Amino acid sequence: MTSFLDRRKCTGKAGLSELSAARWFLQGDVVICVFMETSFLCFCLLVPRNTHRMVDVSHGSDKIKLKTVLKEATTVDNTVILTTLNEAWAAPGSVLDLFLESFQTGERTVRLLEHLVIVALDEKAYEICKSKHTHCYALKTEGVDFSQEKLFMTEDYLRMMWRRIDFLRVDADIMWFRDPMPFFYKDGDFQIACDRFNGNPDDRTNIVNGGFKYIKSNEKTIKFYKYWYEKRVEHPGAHDQDVLNYIKGDQILHDIGLNLKYLPTVHFGGICEPSSDFNQVSTMHANCCIGLIDKLNDLKVILKDWRQYNTLPPRAKEHKWGVPQLCRLPNYSQNLSIFCSFWSLFYFFTLLLPFSTTSHH
């Protein structure tokens, strides 16, 4: 197992014949690490299918700017960390501040900031990014406002979700505590975090969470992303993560030989299922949480828990997460019990109704 910065180039050519629009980015043996609900950049450049007019990044100053940013941020083996954010998440005291702070408090994670590219979805986010981070890129799209916080499953939210397939997608509500590279599977083409992990990294019944992915740039992942994008037409109203859950068992994954791996929550935890071991956790995601205020509260709790863990002596480092708090999920077992009780009463009175009717006659 090696670290993020110590990895060497993997063998195998990227599918450049399929990616003529991205030749300037994919050259030779390339591995792309894409974290935090971001997209596979080369494919995004190939398929600009957004109904709203986008700036053509393959020509002019935007191409030069993006290429320059990526060149400055990538490691020696052409690996980069990407995330996106809008004004709501970039505002002072919001998600961006906590996100960057986690790199400062993690174990040997400060160095990873040198390889992080933040793509701003609006001008305000870009200005804030430049004041706090080295590698920022302004993505311009006409016709859609990404500057306000978008609630889950709203129309604008769905546009933001699918923006990741066309280009890049925001999900910076992940706290980084350790270098994730040692925890990835060496043979995985596409590795993704889970809301719930059942213990088997190959079991497609795991519930995926697209907020954290590790993707190798090769022909298999390019074909998979194209298929994923096309399948959204069959699921109108669903966002990318739902569509991925629909298609993860499709035959095409076997046909193209894609090795899909599900990452264990012990290393890549979240509010849905927190990491069970502080000694092994790499990241913690504020998933299963709707609303910026609730999300910020629980992200702060996660950071506080991590700091408290670091104050413990080595032999006594047993600690528990204080989340969820405001991000509490509904008590499904309690709701199920209430539903069953209601249904039992309904069924009971249904049985009594014929006897009641007969007695009146």
Backbone phi and psi for residue 117, each to the nearest 5 degrees, phi listed first: -110, 125
pLDDT tens readout for residues 229-282: 889 888 888 888 899 999 999 999 999 999 999 999 999 999 999 999 999 999
Distance CA 168, CA 163 (A): 6
Residue 28 forms part of a structural domain = yes
Same domain? 94 vs 222: yes
Sign of the CA dihedral running 119, 122, 125, 131: positive
User: Does 196 score more than 90 pLDDT?
Assistant: yes
Same domain? 338 vs 257: no
pLDDT recorded at residue 184: 92
Distance CA 160, CA 164 (A): 7
Residue 132 burial (10 A CB sphere; 0-12, 13-18, 19+): middle
Residues near 134 by Cβ (< 8 Å), separated by ≥ 6? Answer: 72, 73, 113, 114
Strands 260-262 and 190-196: parallel
Same domain? 346 vs 254: no
With residue 44 as reference, give the H or E element that holds it.
helix 41-46
Higher pLDDT, residue 144 or 103: 103
Q: What is the DSSP string of 225-277?
A: HHHHHHHGGGSTT--HHHHHHHHTTSHHHHHTT--EEEPPTTTEEESSS--S-
pLDDT recorded at residue 215: 83
Distance CA 329, CA 348 (A): 31
Higher pLDDT, residue 83 or 328: 83
Same domain? 352 vs 226: no
From 239, 262, 285, the end of a domain falls on 262
Of 53, 52, 43, 48, the C-alpha closest to 19 is: 43
Residue 113 forms part of a structural domain = yes
What number of CA atoms fall less than 13 Å from residue 286's CA on the CB side? Answer: 27
Q: To the nearest whole number, what is the mean pLDDT of the chain?
A: 74
Judge whether 244 and 228 are in contact, CB under 8 Å. yes
Mean pLDDT within 153-170? 42
What does DSSP assign to residue 111?
G
Residue 1 forms part of a structural domain = no
Same domain? 337 vs 237: no
For residue 192, give the 3-state DSSP assignment: strand
pLDDT recorded at residue 40: 34
Residue 170 forms part of a structural domain = yes
For residue 210, give the 3-state DSSP assignment: strand
Judge whether 161 and 239 are in contact, CB under 8 Å. yes
Residue 307 forms part of a structural domain = no
| Domain range enclosing 337 | 332-361
Residue 41 forms part of a structural domain = yes
From 262, 291, 318, the end of a domain falls on 262
pLDDT tens readout for residues 146-158: 777 765 445 554 4
From 235, 262, 289, the end of a domain falls on 262
Same domain? 252 vs 120: yes
Mean pLDDT within 44-64? 41
Of 280, 44, 327, 298, the C-alpha closest to 174 is: 298
Q: How many domains does the chain have?
A: 2
pLDDT tens readout for residues 120-143: 889 999 999 999 999 998 877 667
Judge whether 156 and 150 are in contact, CB under 8 Å. yes
Same domain? 251 vs 336: no
Residue 318 forms part of a structural domain = no
Same domain? 46 vs 152: yes
Neighbours of 237 (CB within 10 A): 9
Distance CA 108, CA 110 (A): 6
Of 214, 224, 217, 210, the C-alpha closest to 253 is: 224
For residue 223, give the 3-state DSSP assignment: helix
CA angle, corner 227, sides to 226 and 228, nearest 5?
A: 90
What does DSSP assign to residue 314?
G
